[in-house]
Amino acid sequence: MSYAVRVADGPGDRAACFAVRKEVFVVEQGVPEDLEYDAYDAGAVHVLAVRDDGTPLGAGRLLYGEAAAGKTGGAPGVGSLGRLAVVAEARGLGVGVALVRAVEDAARERGLTAVDLGAQTHALGFYERLGYAAYGAEFLDAGIPHRAMRRSLQRAAVRVGHPENRPVLIV
């Protein structure tokens, strides 16, 4: 399956992001719709993965500045990756990795030095493979167990040959 990831540009892209989130979080996971969409959406950077025919495959968002403070403990220079969702048919194809990297690129463009996220506990291994480290105690968000995680965006120490440093191939 061939796809592309981009920063959501305009109301059509944002609607596609929200549709993916509804399919994954509200329909599949049973998150109440009023909890899924929040005031942070308006000022967030949204990223969208789409198949060549325009079908939405995944979405995520970046909060930064004051909007991120509530999610990052107010740490300066730290953004918050959230609402990462990939539709069932596209899981295991690298879409989630590409979305995370797109959010990290958007964070770097805004001068951020790290990204935090709240990972559903079943997804900890996915984020660990991308360089995120869990911290703090497990917590519930919308009734789902989560752990806080962080990844530095500093590029000082590159591990040659490590999968994290390979370019994402979009096929």
Q: How confident is the model at residue 74 (pLDDT cuts 50, 70, 90)?
A: confident
The ranges assigned to domains in the chain are 3-165
Q: Please, what is the average pLDDT of the chain?
A: 90
Distances (CA, A) of 3 to 33, 46, 47, 51, 89: 27, 17, 13, 4, 13
Alpha-carbon span 85 to 73, nearest angstrom: 24
| Reported pTM | 0.86
What CATH number has the domain spanning 3-165?
3.40.630.30
Instruction: Give Cα separations from 157 to 16, 43, 72, 153, 165 (angstroms).
Output: 36, 32, 24, 10, 11
For residue 171, pLDDT over 50 is answered with: no
- Tens-digit pLDDT profile for residues 147-165: 999 999 986 555 555 555 5
Mean pLDDT of 85-110: 97
pLDDT of residue 128: 97
Average pLDDT score over residue span 73-90:
93
Q: pLDDT tens digits, residue range 85-97?
A: 999 999 999 999 9
Asked if residue 22 has pLDDT above 90, the reply is yes
**pLDDT tier at 167, thresholds 50, 70, 90:** low
